[in-house]
Amino acid sequence: MNDPMTDRTLTADDVRAKVFTTGRLREGYDLAEVDVFLNEVAASLRRLHQENAHLKGLVADPKTATLLIVNAREQAETIISEAQDRARALEEETRERLRRATDILAEAHTAGVRELDRWRTGLEDQLAQIKDAVATS
């Protein structure tokens, strides 16, 4: 059994015009809720049909389709170029930070070595004084 309604695309008017039968003693769905929902579905279908028609019009015109492809490629190239520029800038910034951190570490190492030398010299002097004191006593 082929239902003629299933062989065609449902439109917003079809949804809006749909009437549901009610059961005895008001059994079934709340009619107000059904109406609200059907209005929402009809509005959605209307928007989708309009958008679909617009898109079909764009694709149907080869010049428009070609222009869309060209624009998409240009946008893609711009995005890629900007991403590459940003990557280079981040790489340079990272290298500069690494250089500064290396300089700070080298300065800290040098200061640490100087401090250790100062302590060693001081301890060697004290050891020499202790040896002299022991030798003279």
Quickly state the pLDDT bin for 25 (edges 50, 70, 90): low
Q: How far is CA 38 from the centre of its chain?
A: 36
**Rounded average pLDDT over 13-39:** 74
* pLDDT tens profile 64-109: 778 888 999 999 999 999 999 999 999 999 999 999 999 999 999 9
Report the predicted TM-score, pTM, of the whole model to 2 decimal places: 0.42
pLDDT in tens, 34-53: 888 888 888 888 888 899 88
Mean pLDDT of the chain: 85
Predicted local confidence at residue 23, as pLDDT:
63
